[in-house]
Amino acid sequence: KAGVTQTPRYLIKTRGQQVTLSCSPISGHRSVSWYQQTPGQGLQFLFEYFSETQRNKGNFPGRFSGRQFSNSRSEMNVSTLELGDSALYLCASSSAGTGWRGTDTQYFGPGTRLTVL
Amino acid sequence: AQKVTQAQTEISVVEKEDVTLDCVYETRDTTYYLFWYKQPPSGELVFLIRRNSFDEQNEISGRYSWNFQKSTSSFNFTITASQVVDSAVYFCALTLFGNEKLTFGTGTRLTIIP
């Protein structure tokens, strides 16, 4: 099976702009989560989507949003970019499903490195 | 709230030495999962192992072994006969039962010196 793919791999934006990152999960996986990784804050959970619904959300401002499509692909959007948004954004997918409240392993993509100037 | 502590920020060992990476976690829940991930310079987090809170059996996989002790809330990772390819940042993580949100430690940067 192909792994989690993320596009683009690298992105340079300026303050005030907005950006959209894309994630395609492993085939058959319906849960997609997003994480931000920075040297100062480490790895932090942004949100999780399952069946086109946001199921869980981390402590990030409303400028960070996401969505999931019917084919499980997900996008995250950051509006009004700030210098502090420069980070590696990682997407992960798992086969966790509705009604099954266990926890499945999350598999990560290569990430999108966003630089805000 | 959950917390994962990896007190070792950086470790350097000479190739073929054994090395243990420490992980201590905090949670009030009785059902949870623990993970180890490896992050090479390319940036992708590579899954290594997952344990649930009911299974304290230690595990060995090739040169890797894991020691899970609920009594001390620790989930340590040992690499035997280290190799240069083991150089990476290693993360310990925790999630609660029924939840996909991973709480990560700050990571341990492991450098294997040839």
Per-residue pLDDT of A74-86, as tens digits, reads: 999 999 999 999 9
Does residue B109 belong to the interface with chain A, where contact is any CB pair within 8 Å?
no
Q: B104: left (phi > 0), else alpha (psi -120 to 50), else beta?
A: beta
- Considering chain A, what percentage of its residues have pLDDT values greater than 90? 82
- Residue that wins the pLDDT comparison between A51 and B98: A51
Task: With beta carbons under 8 A apart, name residues in chain A contacting B43.
Answer: 88, 90, 110-111, 113
Query: What is the per-residue pLDDT across A30-54, written as a single tens digit (0 to 9) for each?
Result: 999 999 999 999 999 999 999 899 9
Q: Using an 8 Å Cβ cutoff, are B10 and B76 in contact?
A: no
Query: What is the structure's pLDDT at B59?
Result: 81
The secondary structure of B43-104, three-state, reads CCCEEEEEEECCCCCCEEECCEEEEEEHHHCEEEEEECCCCHHHCEEEEEEEEECCCCCCEE
The stretch B26-34 carries a mean pLDDT of 93
Biggest distance spanned by C-alpha atoms of chain B: 43
Q: Using an 8 Å Cβ cutoff, are B112 and B83 in contact?
A: yes
Least confident stretch, A81-95, B48-62, B95-109:
B48-62
Beta-carbon separation of B45 and A108 below 8 A = yes
Does residue B49 belong to the interface with chain A, where contact is any CB pair within 8 Å?
no
Task: Check residue B30 and report its DSSP letter.
Answer: S
Beta-carbon separation of A103 and B33 below 8 A = yes
- Considering chain B, what percentage of its residues have pLDDT values greater than 70? 100
Query: What is the per-residue pLDDT across A90-99, written as a single tens digit (0 to 9) for each?
Result: 999 998 665 4
Does residue B11 belong to the interface with chain A, where contact is any CB pair within 8 Å?
no
Q: Using an 8 Å Cβ cutoff, are B109 and B89 in contact?
A: yes
